[in-house]
Amino acid sequence: GAGVSQSPRYKVAKRGQDVALRCDPISGHVSLFWYQQALGQGPEFLTYFQNEAQLDKSGLPSDRFFAERPEGSVSTLKIQRTQQEDSAVYLCASSPVMGGNNQPQHFGDGTRLSIL
């Protein structure tokens, strides 16, 4: 497909388990962003990649959150020892240019994570 693809669409895990969320950005897009969206709220920034380099991880809520984009295309967001407050929709977005805040971002439909 031509859009940003995220998998799985839904993930249920028990508290304390590790989870991995995948993002396939639009081919050739340089910038990749991860956001967290709580119910009834707007997306909140987690981290930003320019190609394979993670240039900003200031939004990651704790050291249990880790993201990588080793080959500058697919990205994985990993959450270790999940907690109930990690329950949210995790959105991935990509942009064809560096930076990205002055260009449209293309979002996937997210992964809805529920921690029991």
Partner 1 sequence: SQKIEQNSEALNIQEGKTATLTCNYTNYSPAYLQWYRQDPGRGPVFLLLIRENEKEKRKERLKVTFDTTLKQSLFHITASQPADSATYLCALESGRRALTFGSGTRLQVQP
- Contacts with partner 1, residue ranges (CB under 8 A): 4, 31, 33, 35, 40-45, 48, 50, 55-56, 58-59, 91, 93, 99-110
Smallest distance, Å, CB 16 to partner 1?
A: 27
First to last CA, the chain: 33
Buried b (16+ CB within 10 A) or exposed e, 51-74: eeebeeeeebeeeebbbebeeebe
- Pick between residue 59 and residue 72 the one whose CB is nearest to partner 1: 59
CB of 111 to partner 1, least distance (A): 11
